[in-house]
Amino acid sequence: MISAAPEFRFGPYPMSATTLAKTSLDQLKEFTTVVADTGDFESIRKYAPQDATTNPTLIYKAVQQPEYKHLLDKAVSDNKSGSLANGALWKKIIDDLLVGFGQEILKIVPGRVSTEVDARLSFDTEATIRKARELIALYESRGIVRERVLIKIASTWEGANAAAVCEKEGIHCNLTLMFSLPQAVACAEAGVTLISPFVGRIYDYYKATTGKEFSGADDPGVQSVRKIYAYYKKFGYHTQVMGASFRNLGEITELAGCDLLTISPDLLEKLQGTSDTITRKLDPEASRNADISRISNDEKTFRWLLNEDPMATDKLADGIRRFAGDIVKLEGIIASAL
Residues involved in catalysis: 152
Rounded Cα distance, 282 and 265, in Å:
23
Contact 64, 82 (CB under 8 A): no
User: CB-side exposure of 99: number of CA atoms within 13 Å?
Assistant: 24
Q: What is the dihedral of CA 96, 97, 98, 99, to 10 degrees?
A: 50
Among candidate residues 68, 73, 48, the one with its CA nearest the CA of residue 58: 68
Q: Is residue 18 packed enough to be buried (19+ CB in 10 Å), middle (13-18) or exposed (0-12)?
A: exposed
Residues in contact with 93: Cβ distance below 8 Å, sequence separation at least 6, in sequence order? 75, 76, 79, 334
Residue 40, amino acid: D
Beta bridge partners of 242: 260
Residue 227, amino acid: K
Residues in contact with 207: Cβ distance below 8 Å, sequence separation at least 6, in sequence order? 213, 214
C-alpha 168, offset from chain centre: 21
- The CA–CA distances, whole Å, from 32 to 16, 47, 184, 256, 307 equal 24, 14, 19, 6, 32
Mark out the alpha helices in 63-124 (DSSP H runs): 69-79, 86-105
Rounded Cα distance, 222 and 32, in Å:
15
Residue 286, amino acid: A
Tell me which DSSP letter residue 95 carries.
H
Rounded Cα distance, 325 and 332, in Å:
11
Question: What radius of gyration do the chain's Cα atoms show?
Answer: 21
Beta bridge partners of 197: 178
